[in-house]
Chain A
Amino acid sequence: MNIVSLLQLIVSSSLIYAAPLIFTAIGGAFSERGGIVNIGLEGIMVMGAFASAIFNLTFTSTFGDMTPWLGLLAGALIGILFSLIHAVATVHLRADHIISGTVINLAAPALAVFLTRAIYGAAQTGPLAEPFGRANIFLLHRIPVIGPIFFENTSGPAYLGILVAVISWVVMFKTRFGLRLRSVGEHPHAAETLGINVYFMKYAGVLISGLLGGIGGAIQAQAISNEFGVLTIAGQGFISLAAMIFGKWNPLGAMGAAIFFGFAQSLARIGNYIPIIQDIPGIWLQIMPYLLTIIVLVGVVGKAVAPKAIGKTFIKSK
């Protein structure tokens, strides 16, 4: 294998595994910047994966090639609906964020498999009709050397994710909405005094995390597992949470961390082709993302980086 095709293999498989994590990790950043901890991302991904699989199987004949992309919208929609439960519970019903997230994670796989059985009579949907294939990125793949490595035969959704990360960074740090969202997560009472609708901003943060988490799940189902079953989402939501922390609650950082974790996950599959890495026992590659997260949390991030009022119930003053 020559160096260009080796790099091509590494980059494209990293991006394929990173794509669901990029979206979900950015979603987590929106929720937590607004002060709501969302460990329910895992459950939201399950629902997104489920919705996209159903959509994909039902509408392939109507939409043809476009089906998986429209499937992302189906995942986004159900993700928003499901995150609404978390928003209502944590904001209006004053439930503990971790408990509510745990409920989401308990409910989602049960509900999704229940519905799959109700619709298809089996616990899995079976192979999807029109999964995401590998794609060339428009024009960019013609650039010499760089083109073939980065933009040929690669993951379309991952590049969409990178675009979404840039947009999210602008929204979070350069717009009025972003400033308000962050102020609500840092000091809700001060924000309220300035006339910001704290409840509205918190809802917005959680619902955006639902939208992006649902898309993340939809990518996992349509680009990686190519079906929906109870094992389609197995910890990706939690890895995304880790990527968000790794990226210091910043969409661009979360994206970078997600790509790194995608690389780590893909190593378990393609590690045998890569010199040096092929000598590392597989078990180390499997547990590396988790151990790295712990090390980063202890050593690099420290205490003060998370939004200040995170996880606290805000009660409106009368």
Chain B
Amino acid sequence: MLTTNQNRLNALLIPTLSILLGFIFGALLMLFFGYNPIEAYQAMLAGVFNSPYFMGEAMRQATVLTFTGLGFAIAFKAGFFNIGVAGQLLAGWVAAIWVALSFPDLPRIILLTLSIGAAIIAGAVWAGIAGALRAYFGTSEVIVTIMLNYTALHLTNYIIRSVLTTGNTTERVSENASLRVGWLTTLTQGSRINMGLFIAIAVVILYWVFMTQMTAGFEVRAVGLNPDASTYAGMSAERNIILSMLISGGLAGLGGAIHGLGTFGNIFTQSGLPSLGFNGIAVALLGLGNPIGIFFSSILFGVLDVGAGFMPNRAGVPDEMADIVIAAIIFFVGANYIIRVALDKMRSSKTAEKGGE
């Protein structure tokens, strides 16, 4: 019992300490360059939380991060690194906009279902390629998804320039394909927060149910923990690899649809891969693969991302600081061995002081 309690405690302590250490690292860096870290962090938090508009924007960012985070997490649970969530998000984004622009006059519910469905399929297929190659040829999914990322980037730009338009930005989708809801927009004084938030919450619950209550989810986790034992127990490793990658890419594609139909209402050519993909990986690692943890990590990163915009003007600190803090947090999550060792040392010295048990 003691060990499970301690594991539970560690599961909360490690992300909390990592966040703390990440912020401390950022503060030290700012001090070193002669900036005032307290002013900077204050500007960030006050900027977001004093304004309904920016709170809405932070939640809007958190919504998309939840999808890319969950997408990375499910493949991670099955033992795979889906570095390609950025490319799958792009695939979903362009698919959703393409469908929405092709049938602008369909009734809202049908058009939204079609667009979002197309996005999920596009993302799932893009990740499924990597899953199938891994399952049948043993090809490293890390390399394949990285290559597919850049393929998706160039293909998407090509589709925008040569198929959807002749310029660099598509038209806006019709009202019938928009995920915006009037009362949410009014409540947040015109921010781009949208229905995606509720879809995200629903998906978080579905993800939890799938992973903990369903046989298929159990198999995914089992294959991730020990592929040989799972195969011996009659589970198909190939099937589970492909299934987890399909769901992973589908979730990233869904995130792309929310980004396209909710945030922007169109798509435009990108000069690089969207940071939402890599920050989704960060969110998943910080949430330690737990859906609720991922949701709250997304909110934290949403606040960091949107709040960063206030640092240059109010504190004179470049807004890249937020990304440095994010990277530092993930460094400590990844190197949690050092935190574990420190915690164990503290605990054992405490028991030693009490004179053992």
Partner-B contacts on A (CB < 8 A) = 37, 39, 85, 89, 93-96, 98-100, 102-103, 105-107, 109-111, 113-114, 117-118, 230-231, 234-235, 238, 241-242, 245, 283, 286-287, 290-291, 293-294, 297-298, 302-303, 306
Q: Which residues of A contact B272 (CB under 8 A)?
A: 230-231, 234-235
- What separation, in Å, do the CA atoms of A230 and B338 have in the docked complex? 32
Is B327 a contact partner of A107 (Cβ separation < 8 A)? yes
Give the interface segment out of B55-63, B151-159, B173-181, B218-226: B151-159
A39, A106, A303 pick with most chain B CB within 10 angstroms: A106
Is A238 a contact partner of B150 (Cβ separation < 8 A)? yes
Is B327 a contact partner of A110 (Cβ separation < 8 A)? yes
Is B278 a contact partner of A290 (Cβ separation < 8 A)? no
Is A110 a contact partner of B324 (Cβ separation < 8 A)? yes
Contacts A102-B281, A283-B154 given: A297-B318 contact, CB under 8 Å? no
B33 contacts partner chain A, Cβ-Cβ < 8 Å? yes
- What separation, in Å, do the CA atoms of A235 and B147 have in the docked complex? 10
Q: Which residues of B contact A242 (CB under 8 A)?
A: 143, 146-147
Contacts A111-B324, A294-B133 given: A93-B335 contact, CB under 8 Å? yes
Residues 127-164 of chain B, each 1 if its beta carbon lies under 8 Å from chain A, else 0 = 00000010001111011101111110011001000100
A167 to chain B, nearest CB (A): 27
A-B contact sample (19 more), CB < 8 A, given A107-B331, A114-B324, A294-B147: A39-B142, A39-B146, A95-B336, A98-B81, A99-B330, A102-B83, A102-B281, A106-B327, A107-B327, A110-B322, A110-B326, A114-B318, A241-B146, A294-B133, A294-B139, A294-B144, A294-B148, A303-B138, A306-B140
B305 to chain A, nearest CB (A): 12
Partner-A contacts on B (CB < 8 A) = 33, 81, 83, 133, 137-140, 142-144, 146-151, 154-155, 158, 162, 271-272, 278-279, 281-282, 285, 318, 320-324, 326-328, 330-331, 333-338
Q: Which residues of B contact A114 (CB under 8 A)?
A: 318, 320-321, 324
Find B278's partner among A106, A293, A297 (CB 8 Å cutoff).
Answer: A106
Closest A-B pairs by Cβ, 10 of them = A110-B323, A107-B327, A93-B335, A99-B334, A117-B318, A106-B327, A290-B147, A114-B320, A95-B334, A283-B158
A235 to chain B, nearest CB (A): 5
Find A293's partner among B147, B279, B327 (CB 8 Å cutoff).
Answer: B147
Q: Which residues of A contact B333 (CB under 8 A)?
A: 99
Is B33 a contact partner of A297 (Cβ separation < 8 A)? no
7 contacting pairs across A/B (C-beta < 8 A): A37-B142, A98-B81, A100-B334, A102-B83, A238-B146, A291-B151, A302-B137
Q: Is the interface of B mostly helix, strand, loop or mixed?
A: helix
Q: Which residue of A lies closest to B158 (CB)?
A: A283
Q: Which residues of B contact A106 (CB under 8 A)?
A: 278-279, 282, 323, 326-327, 330
Q: Which residue of A lies closest to B32 (CB)?
A: A118
Q: Which residues of B contact A302 (CB under 8 A)?
A: 137-138
Q: Which residues of A contact B151 (CB under 8 A)?
A: 287, 290-291
Q: Which residue of B lies closest to A283 (CB)?
A: B158
Is A297 a contact partner of B154 (Cβ separation < 8 A)? no
Find A99's partner among B144, B150, B285, B326 (CB 8 Å cutoff).
Answer: B285
A46 to chain B, nearest CB (A): 12
Is B150 a contact partner of A235 (Cβ separation < 8 A)? yes
A89, A110, A245 pick with most chain B CB within 10 angstroms: A110
Q: Which residues of B contact A37 (CB under 8 A)?
A: 142
- What separation, in Å, do the CA atoms of A234 and B271 have in the docked complex? 9
Is A107 a contact partner of B328 (Cβ separation < 8 A)? yes
